Amino acid sequence: MTAPLGQLLDEIAAKIAAAAAGADLTEVGELQVTSRRNFNPTPPSIDVYPGDPFRDGTDGTAAFNEVGGSLLLTVRARVNTADNIAGQDFLLRLMDDEDDISIAAALMDDQTLNGLASSVNVEGNSGYLRYIEGSDESFLGCEWRVRVLRALS
């Protein structure tokens, strides 16, 4: 038996929010972190959702009671481009493994995600990407590919 997928996404979002809670974010404002895909972000915004592909059975984990293999998730950060430099600086902080708000460091610090996973691996992140939301509002952002192997209870 494993934890429901929604609970796993909630825990990933909680880890990211906790890492950012003590950080100085005055240049970008309050951080919005959601554990589902956010179609109406208030940047700076981070959301978590199933990646594409969502399962990877080619990694050998299907043999360890994980029916379709490990889960591939997307963690996405978006910023407003009104203050171009501040937004880019914030994204760079999220990408920087040595920064207090590093996405990779926040997620890989606890390989169990409070007992919900047996391993977590942030496989890498994109460079800057442009996102068009709603009525053609443009955001700058980046994405991380996160591989999770659920824990069996």
Under CATH, what is the fold of the domain 5-150?
Alpha-Beta Plaits (3.30.70)
Separation between Cα atoms, residue 149 and residue 24, nearest integer Å: 32
The pLDDT score that the predictor gives to residue 67 is 59
The pLDDT score that the predictor gives to residue 99 is 94
pLDDT band at 72 (very low <50, low <70, confident <90, very high): very high
Separation between Cα atoms, residue 23 and residue 114, nearest integer Å: 22
CB 25 within 8 A of CB 113: no
Cis peptide before 41 (omega within 30 of 0): no
Separation between Cα atoms, residue 148 and residue 111, nearest integer Å: 9
Q: Which tens digit of pLDDT belongs to each residue from 12-64?
A: 999 999 999 988 887 788 899 999 999 989 999 999 999 998 987 665 554 45
- Quote the radius of gyration of the chain (alpha carbons, Å): 16
Q: What global pTM score does this model have?
A: 0.90
Q: Which tens digit of pLDDT belongs to each residue from 111-129?
A: 899 999 999 999 999 999 9
Domain ranges of the chain: 5-150
